[in-house]
Amino acid sequence: MKKNLKSPADFLTSSKVTKQIIRYSSPHNESLTIWRNEGRDVSYYDLLGHTFSYYINCGLGSKRKQNPDNLASPGKFCVFPEGSSSDWVHSSPLVFMHLHVSDSEIRRRYVEMFDYDARCCHIPEITFGDFPEIQNIFKQLYASLYSHDSFFIECAISEVISRFLLRTPPHLKHKKMRGGLSSYLSKNLREYIEQNLDNKITLSTLSSKANLSEFHFQRVFQQSFGVSPAKWILESRITKAKELLRKNTDLKDISSQCGFSDQSHMTRQFKKMTGLTPNEYRQVTDKRSIIVPVSRFRHGKPD
């Protein structure tokens, strides 16, 4: 990856053309920020990560220099893929929201949803799109930021990403890829991990199933899954723990079924990944309906 890639926030803060109103950082390498621009032009180049931009208030007449006939308005939705560049003209003040997601995280979610190689994931650039289902979630996110409802924010972020990927599945069809894992081997490894979450899963065991050295296996696994083996396994354990928490399973049993050394270990890892302890997660899920998480999708359909 290029070392000089920068996020939109880097450009906005360094240029001093906008004011950050509120920011939320997720445990999953995601951030949600509301900005106010007083009507100053902005340029981005060689962006790091993928950014979903939503216009909240004003912005009438704002446009992209590369596409001047397509004008902004409240509720419009843009996508800035990693590596993209763009120049924006703002003739009046506006308030907008940026959801920033790391490339590795969006590829991990992509693999979870579609069972495709992570390198098949291509995020299209969108300028002032009109996606009502995504716009409605952003409206709720805007309100939840001020109420500090971290549980809803996490669920809604997952919903934005999943609906975007489902709306236009970003597959690079017929792309011939070198390296990585074969689809057959990736499927077998994923099934092995899911079926053995209650046991200790070692890098040695996984690499032997692929008939590769541990060093080479880690590299090709990350190519095909978007994240390291350790990250994938931990995310899988947390996902299973969430499912068992919603079924009111005993915490000690959950820690055992999910492969944590003990209940204390599960609590530390769960809070690190979700921002909530298992008990807190259970309490909030008991009080409201749950947005279907990305991990519950397979091939674009709920399980």
Structure tokens at 238: 């947390």
* 199 and 233 both lie in a single domain: yes
Whether 70 and 114 map to the same domain: the answer is: yes
Q: Which residues of the chain have pLDDT under 70?
A: 1-3, 168-177, 287-303
Q: Is residue 57 part of a domain?
A: yes
Rounded CA-CA distance 229/234 in Å is: 9
Q: If you search the block for the tokens 């055992």, which residue do you land on?
A: 256
**What is the DSSP code (8-state) at residue 121?**
B
Q: Which domain holds residue 126?
A: 10-167
Q: Is residue 126 part of a domain?
A: yes
Query: Is the domain of 155 the same as that of 214?
Result: no
**What pLDDT score does 3 carry?**
60
Query: In this structure, what CATH number is given to the domain that contains residue 33?
Result: 2.60.120.10
- How much is the pLDDT for 301? 40
pLDDT in the model for residue 173: 54
How far apart CA 96 and CA 19 sit, in angstroms, is 11
Instruction: Supply the mean pLDDT for the chain.
Output: 87
* Non-local CB neighbours of 205 within 8 Å, separated by 6+ positions: none
pLDDT digits (tens, 9 = 90+) for 252-264: 999 999 999 999 9
Same domain, 152 and 71: yes
Query: Is residue 302 assigned to a domain?
Result: no
Q: Are residues 36 and 97 in the same domain?
A: yes
In a domain, 173, yes or no: no
What three-state secondary structure class fits 118?
A: helix
Read off the DSSP letter of residue 56.
E
Same domain as 156, residue 187: no
Residue 298 is predicted with a pLDDT of 40
CATH classification at residue 267: 1.10.10.60
Residue 3 lies in a domain: no
Say yes or no: 157 and 247 in one domain.
no
The answer to the question of residue 211 being in a domain is yes
Structurally, the chain folds into a number of domains equal to: 2
Residue 177 forms part of a structural domain: no
Q: How much is the pLDDT for 52?
A: 96
Residue 157 and residue 14 in one domain: yes
Are 152 and 228 contained in the same domain?
Answer: no
The domain boundary residue, chosen from 103, 133, 167: 167
Rg (CA), the chain: 20
Q: What pLDDT does 16 receive?
A: 76
Residues 99 and 187 both lie in one domain: no
- Answer left, alpha or beta for residue 165, where phi above 0 means left and psi between -120 and 50 means alpha: alpha
Kindly compute the dihedral angle of the four CA atoms of residues 82, 83, 87, 91, in this order, to the nearest 10 degrees: 20
117 and 203 co-located in one domain: no
Answer yes or no: do 16 and 135 share one domain.
yes
For the chain, where are the alpha helices, taking DSSP H only? 8-15, 103-114, 132-147, 150-167, 183-195, 203-209, 214-225, 229-246, 251-257, 263-274, 278-286
Nearest by Cα to 295 from 220, 222, 237: 237
